[in-house]
Structure 1
Amino acid sequence: MNTLTAVALLHCFLFAVLVRSAPVGPASEPPAAFREAAERAKTLVEKILRDLPAVHAATVTTEGLTLDPSTETTNLQLMVTSLGIPAAPVLKPLSERFTLDMCVSRMMAGGQLYQGLLGVLSERLSGLKDLRADLRDLLTHINKMKVAAQVSSDSPDQNQRLDLASRLHGNYEVQVGVHLTLTQLRSFCHDLIRSLRAIATYRPRSAGTR
């Protein structure tokens, strides 16, 4: 190998090293419309969490059905299956495996799930109107996040069929249905708060950072 060839190869090697190690520009921030919608959604979820105890007290009068997790019994867990109440979509920390698209889509699917459940239950029991209105507004803000972030994927849970109405045979089933729905909604709202806080400051991975 002559000297000129060796020098040329060395220059190519050094250039490749510099390209790989060059600092990458700052990751783009979420659009302002996305951050604003996320903040409004978070404020509304906080309101729902504050209102849930009062809604539960006003609608669930059967003794032993409280929001205290320590009072949950095996029978109530069996009633979840018996009444056909689906589990909420799982929300995870953002990562390459759990993308912003997946997170926002699952937020939407969860909101639609509980909006649907409360719609069925409100036909048998009063006192759920305001909560349903808050969920409707929450879905509006999540949809704005979806548009601002150009999220295109849809969760397969979004249009799942609800069989709750056909299984509410009496007042006890209605009471248990409301209790379980409000309990699960509270848990989902806690997950929503954590996710909304995380994605409000989310920085997507820039090209060249792999």
Structure 2
Amino acid sequence: MNAGIVIALLHCYQFAVLVQSAPTTVPLLDFREAVERTRTLVEKILTDLPTVHAATVNIQGLTLDSSSQTANLQMMVTSLGIPASPVIKPLSEQFTLDTCVSRMSAGSQLYQGILGVLSERLSGLGDLKAELRDLLLLINKMKEAAQLSGANSSDQSAASDLAARLQDDYKVQVAAHLTLSQLRSFCHDMIRSLRNIASHRSRAAGAR
């Protein structure tokens, strides 16, 4: 066999071995882009919340200002059965990226479900529902880019239970106020967490 042909075949074999042994990791840039797009949408939701609140809640004294949260309103949270947002913490060995992103997903699903119930009694929530739907899609892209395995799950029974408790317009208004207030706090937590994730991944990449 011609020596040139032998050398060429050896090069092809070595290339094939390298391709098979290469790690199948997703480029960090893809994950960074997914994180940034998610953060941008969460910031837009935060910007839109005051407008949505003004369009849907007309009870005097109920604003998104935290100072308006009284003991009576906190009692309404319990009586209406409005669930708390999933807790999001800084990344650590105990609170992994997988857990963090899964809780972002669960919270977004939770509020999408509650807004779905409220939108049957109130107008002006459609755009916010659509933004939460888009947010879930972006969170899924984050999970795919980071190759995370956590399942997207949320207890949707809370939304059904809430629907049964909205017997009058006053309770509907209060439920909308409390939901939008909690969603705002959840979005702030998400922003902090997304910044933490971006910083954490950057440090991890620099250490390699």
The TM-score by the shorter chain falls in which range? 0.7 to 0.9
1:122 — aligned with what? 119
Candidates 144, 154, 157, aligned match of 1:158: 154
Aligned length: 179
**Structure 2 CA distance for partners of 1:168 and 1:95, relative to 1, 3 Å:** same
1:187 — aligned with what? 185
| Cα deviations by residue, 1:64-85 (Å, 9 ceiling, x for unpaired) | 2111111211110011111111
Whether the 8 Å contact between 1:29 and 1:203 is mirrored in structure 2 is no
After the TM superposition, list the runs of 4 or more consecutive aligned residues in structure 1 that deviate by more than 6 angstroms: none
| Cα deviations by residue, 1:14-54 (Å, 9 ceiling, x for unpaired) | xxxxxxxxxxxxxx997222211111110001101111111
Whether the 8 Å contact between 1:64 and 1:71 is mirrored in structure 2 is yes
Candidates 167, 173, 176, aligned match of 2:174: 176
Counterparts of 1:193 and 1:136 in 2: how far apart (Å)?
A: 17
- Equivalent position amino acid for 1:200 in 2: A
| Greater shift in the superposed pair: 146-155 or 52-61 | 146-155
Q: Provide the secondary structure at the position in 1 that maps to 2:201.
A: coil
Structural mapping, 1:43-192, within 5 Å:
43-154=40-151, 158-162=154-158, 163-192=161-190
**Structure 2 CA distance for partners of 1:29 and 1:205, relative to 1, 3 Å:** farther
Q: Percent identity between the aligned chains? A: 69
1:15 — aligned with what? none
Counterparts of 1:143 and 1:202 in 2: how far apart (Å)?
A: 19
Candidates 27, 31, 36, aligned match of 1:39: 36
Counterparts of 1:79 and 1:149 in 2: how far apart (Å)?
A: 39
Choose between structure 1 and 2: higher helix proportion.
2
**Alpha-carbon deviation of 1:150?**
1.6
Q: Provide the secondary structure at the position in 2 that maps to 1:203.
A: helix
Counterparts of 1:197 and 1:205 in 2: how far apart (Å)?
A: 12
Q: What RMSD in Å do the two structures reach over aligned CA positions?
A: 2.1
**Alpha-carbon deviation of 1:205?**
9.5
Whether the 8 Å contact between 1:118 and 1:128 is mirrored in structure 2 is yes
**Alpha-carbon deviation of 1:202?**
2.3
Counterparts of 1:203 and 1:127 in 2: how far apart (Å)?
A: 38
Q: TM-score, normalised by structure 2?
A: 0.81
**Alpha-carbon deviation of 1:160?**
4.4
Whether the 8 Å contact between 1:62 and 1:175 is mirrored in structure 2 is yes
2:196 — aligned with what? 198
Whether the 8 Å contact between 2:53 and 2:177 is mirrored in structure 1 is yes
Whether the 8 Å contact between 2:89 and 2:100 is mirrored in structure 1 is yes
Whether the 8 Å contact between 2:109 and 2:136 is mirrored in structure 1 is yes
Q: TM-score, normalised by structure 1?
A: 0.80
- Equivalent position amino acid for 2:114 in 1: L
Question: Any gaps of 5 or more consecutive residues in structure 1?
Answer: 1-27
Whether the 8 Å contact between 2:85 and 2:107 is mirrored in structure 1 is yes
Whether the 8 Å contact between 2:26 and 2:145 is mirrored in structure 1 is no
